[in-house]
Amino acid sequence: MVSASQQQTRSQSTAAVWRLRYRQAVKLAAVVVVLSFAYGVGTSSYFQIREVQVIAPNFQLSQQALAKIKVPGQASTLFYPVEKLARAVAGCPGIKRVEVGRDLPSRVVVRVWPREPVAAVKCGEDFALVDEEGVCVSRARRAPAHLIQIYGLLQRPIAAGQRLQTDSMHLLTQCLAGLKDEELSRGLIIDFSQQYAIQLCTGGGVQGKVGTADNLQRKVMMFVGILRELQRRGQQPAYIDVRIMSRPVWKLRRES
């Protein structure tokens, strides 16, 4: 037999459960209403993407970015995954970094930063202009005067957007790390055509005999250091030989 007090307790428990479920249902309904309203507002014409603004340091780069941007009609500024735009624009050879933001209610802003070439690498009949990461930014018929010119580095041609092979990139990185002299880099030629007779030649005509690629960074640093010290003394070398690092030699130009 169930006593009256037990029945009353069960009734109270059942009532409490139903009240809890009712409150949960009310809250869920409120959330659905709010989300539906927000979605309706977010997908309304007020928040429709009407403009994509590209901020770039030059016109050519902005055109590269715009060519990659495809936004579906009726896309919402609030809900459209702008990461898609960032990935698409990042595929441009000349673009190193991309940031995409929302400018409510109807504009998306794309900011791009360029890849800056540091060397012109001979590539067939023309040059591949590569940045510090070994990415080919573009091709050019002539090497720009302010860039390092490199010969004999590529085993096969590369197109814009492609990277140097690992071995080639390693040699380039060592040379750049050894130079650290912007003035000297202008017009500098590095010739890897002969594996055991790597050579340098400055814009002023000073030759550098490097030999093999062993300790390439240190050899380049030594070449730069000796050249600068001789110039400080008012002397102009014809060549500097750092093939044997423990015994570097150089020959001065004859005064005319």
Residue 78 — pLDDT band, cuts 50, 70, 90? confident
| Residue pLDDT, tens place only, 131-185 | 999 999 999 999 999 999 999 999 888 999 999 999 999 999 999 999 988 788 8
How far from the centroid of its chain's Cα atoms is residue 42's Cα? 34
Residue 7 — pLDDT band, cuts 50, 70, 90? low
Structural domains of the chain, with CATH: 45-114 (3.10.20.310), 119-252 (3.40.50.10960)
Q: How many C-beta neighbours within 10 Å does residue 101 have?
A: 11
Are the beta carbons of 52 and 69 closer than 8 angstroms? Answer: yes
Give the gyration radius of the chain's Cα atoms.
33
Any bridge partners for residue 199, and if so which?
191, 209
Any bridge partners for residue 129, and if so which?
120, 138
Cβ neighbours for 220, distance < 8 A, ≥ 6 positions apart? 174, 175, 177, 178, 179, 200, 208, 210
Q: Judge residue 165's burial from the number of C-beta atoms within 10 Å of its C-beta, 0-12 exposed, 13-18 middle, 19 or more buried.
A: middle
> Tokens at residue 243, please?
């093939």
Task: Supply the pLDDT for residue 168.
Answer: 94
The structure's pTM equals: 0.76
Q: How many CA atoms lie within 13 A of 160 on its CB side?
A: 13
